[in-house]
Amino acid sequence: MNSKTYKRIGEFILLEKLNSGGMGEVWLAKSVGAFNVSRFVAIKMTLNHLQGVKAAQLFMDEAKLAINLQHNNIVSVYDFKVEKGKFYLVMEYVHGTSLQQLLEKRKGTDQSRLPLPIIIFIIREIALGLDYAHHCTDRWSQKPLQLIHRDISPQNVLISYEGNVKIIDFGIAKSKDKIEQTGDGIIKGNCSYMSPEQASGQPLDLTSDLFSLGIILWELVANDRLFYAEDLYATLKNAREANVPDIRQFNPTVPAEIVRIIHKTLSVDRNARYRVGRDLAKDLTSFLSQEFASFTQNDFAIFMKSSFATEEKEISEKIKTYAEVINSGWKIAEEDDEAQNNEPAEITIELIEGISADEASNKAIDLKSLLVGQEAFSAQKKPVPSEQPKKTKVPIHVLLKRAADLLLKSVFIFIVIAIIYFVFFKIAMR
C-alpha cells in the first residue's frame, strides 16, 4: 500500500512547498470540500519564529489591502485565516513560473535575450495591473487606496503557462496616506529595483512603482542588469544616483519608440515620468499593434509552454496525482488532531491498492471515503434508531370540555329525532 504524509491547516491539505522567504512560506494546497468539491490554492503562512502580534499585523495589513484587488494581472487573495496560532493567506494558485525563473532559465544560452514582442507584452500586463492597484478603492468605504507596491521585481511577477502575467506579494505594500503618516525612512524592497526616492528613504508616490517597472524593461531589452552590484551598499548607491546608461549601448537594434518609453519611465524627475500605469500600457500597446500586429497572448502561451515543456509536464503530473488526494479511491487517517508547536497537523494519505479513482467511482464507494477522521467514519456506520411517536398528556380541563361538547351534541341529536318522530306520528293518526 502506497502512502504519503501531508500537513493540513484548516480545511486545506498542504501538498508541496512552492517558495520560502524571510517572512513566510508558500504552499500548493487543496481545499477539502463536501462531496469532494475542491480546488487548488496557494497558502502563504508565517514562519514559526515570526508568530506574534507583529507578524499577525503584517499579515492582516497585506490581507486588508490585497483582498480589495480583483484584476487579471494581480494574484487574487481569497481569505485571511488563523489556525492554532498560525496566520495564513489563501491565494490564487498560478500554474506557471516567475519572470525571474524565466530569465534564469535562458541565462547563458544563445537565446538569453527575450524576443522584443514578449518583453513588451509582459511589461504592458504589469503596467495594467499596477494601474488597477494604484487606483483601486476600498471595498467598503469606496475611498481610493492609492496603493504603492514598493517591491516590483522579476521574482514578484508570475507568468502562467497560458500566458497570464500576474503581480504577487503585496506584503510590504502601503497606501500613500499610510506611508506619509509613518514617514519612518525605513527602506524596504529589492534594492536593485528601487526608484531613487525609495532608495533614499524619501516619501513615495505612485510613479515609484512605474520606475521599478522601467528598470525591469531596461534589463529585459539590454539583457543586462541596471543598478545591481555584488555589494548591497553599492547597489543602493546606484539606485540613489539613478545613472541610466543609453540602452543602445547594450542593444543597438532597439526601436526609437522603446528608447523613448524607457527614458520617460526612468526619469529621475518624477513629473517627467508616466503618471499612471495605463498611459505606459497605452504606449506599449500602440507599439505592439504597429510593429507586431499579429502577436497575441496565445503566441506568448506557446512560447511559455515550449520554454518550460519539461517543467510543465512534471507539474501537470504532480497536479494529477494531487487531484487524487481525498478523492474516490483514497482513504484518510488523522494521525494528530492537535498541531504541535503551531505546526499544521499531519495526515497520512493512502491509496487503496487495486482500485483506481475511476473504478472507485463506478463501484459507488460510500461517502464515508470523503470524510476526514475515523470518528466521522464511525458515526456514519452507526444505525439511526427509528423514531417512536411521543405520547402527550392531555390536561383534565381539556378532557372535560371535550366530554361536555360530546354530551351537548348527543342531546341535540336526540331532540331532532324526537321532533321528527312526533311529526310523523301526527300525520299517521290523521
Mean pLDDT of 346-351: 48
CA-angle at 343, arms to 339 and 349, nearest 5°: 75
Is 151 an active-site residue? yes
> What backbone phi and psi angles, to 5 degrees, belong to 310?
-65, -45
Q: At residue 10, does pLDDT exceed 80? A: yes
pLDDT the model gives residue 391: 52
Q: What is the mean pLDDT of the chain?
A: 79
Closest CA to 208 of 282, 265, 123: 265
User: Please, are residues 27 and 357 in contact by the beta-carbon 8 Å criterion?
Assistant: no
Segment 328-338 shows an average pLDDT of 43
Q: What is the pLDDT of residue 184?
A: 46
pLDDT tens by residue, 24-50: 789 999 987 766 677 899 998 877 655
Q: What angle do helix axes 277-291 and 256-265 make, rounded to 10 degrees?
A: 170
Task: Kindly report the pTM of this predicted structure.
Answer: 0.74
Rounded to whole angstroms, the Cα distance separating 271 from 253 reads: 29
Q: Do 96-318 and 1-93+327-362 have the same topology in CATH?
A: no
Residue spans of the domains in the chain: they are 1-93+327-362, 96-318, 392-430
**pLDDT tens across 254-284, in order?**
999 999 999 999 999 999 999 999 999 999 9
> Are 343 and 2 spatial neighbours (Cβ–Cβ below 8 Å)?
no
Per annotation, catalytic residue among 151, 169, 209, 283? 151
Give mean pLDDT, residues 342-350. 53
The pLDDT of 384-404, averaged and rounded, is 61
Percent of the chain with pLDDT over 90: 45
* Angle between helical axes of 207-222 and 256-265 (0-180°, round to 10): 140
Q: Nine-digit cell at 339?
A: 498541531
Please check the confidence at residue 90 and state whether its pLDDT lies above 80: yes
Q: At residue 22, does pLDDT exceed 70?
A: no
Residue 79 or 216, more confident: 216
Higher pLDDT, 327 or 65: 65
Cα dist. 375→40, 174, 381, 399 in Å? 26, 46, 10, 49
Amino acid letter, 406: L
**pLDDT for residue 49:** 57
pLDDT for 193-229, tens place per residue? 999 999 999 999 999 999 999 999 999 999 999 999 9
Instruction: Check residue 48 and give its pLDDT.
Output: 64
Assigned fold of 96-318: Transferase(Phosphotransferase); domain 1 (1.10.510)
Domain 1-93+327-362 classification at class level: alpha beta
Give the alpha-carbon dihedral of 108, 114, 119, 122, to 10 degrees.
-70
Q: Is the pLDDT reported for residue 364 higher than 50?
A: no
pLDDT at position 6 is 81
**Three-class SS string for the chain?**
CEEEEEEEECCEEEEEEEEECCCEEEEEEEECCHHHCCCEEEEEEECHHHCCHHHHHHHHHHHHHHCCCCCCCECCEEEEEEECCEEEEEEECCCEEEHHHHHHHHCCCCCCCCCHHHHHHHHHHHHHHHHHHHCCECCCCCCECCEECCCCCHHHEEEECCCCEEECCCCCCEEHHHHHHHCCCCCCCCHHHCCHHHHCCCCCCCHHHHHHHHHHHHHHHHCCCCCCCCCHHHHHHHHHHCCCCCHHHCCCCCCHHHHHHHHHHCCCCHHHCCCCHHHHHHHHHHHHHHHCCCCCHHHHHHHHHHHCHHHHHHHHHHHHHHCCCCCCCEEEEECCCCCHHHCCEEEEEEECCCCCHHHHHHCCCCHHHHCCCHHHHHHHHCCCCCCCCCCCCCCHHHHHHHHHHHHHHHHHHHHHHHHHHHHHHHHHHC
d(CA 242, CA 331): 59
**Cross-strand partners of 9:** 12
Residue 290: how many other CB atoms lie within 10 Å: 10
pLDDT of residue 395: 65
CA 235 to chain centroid: 33
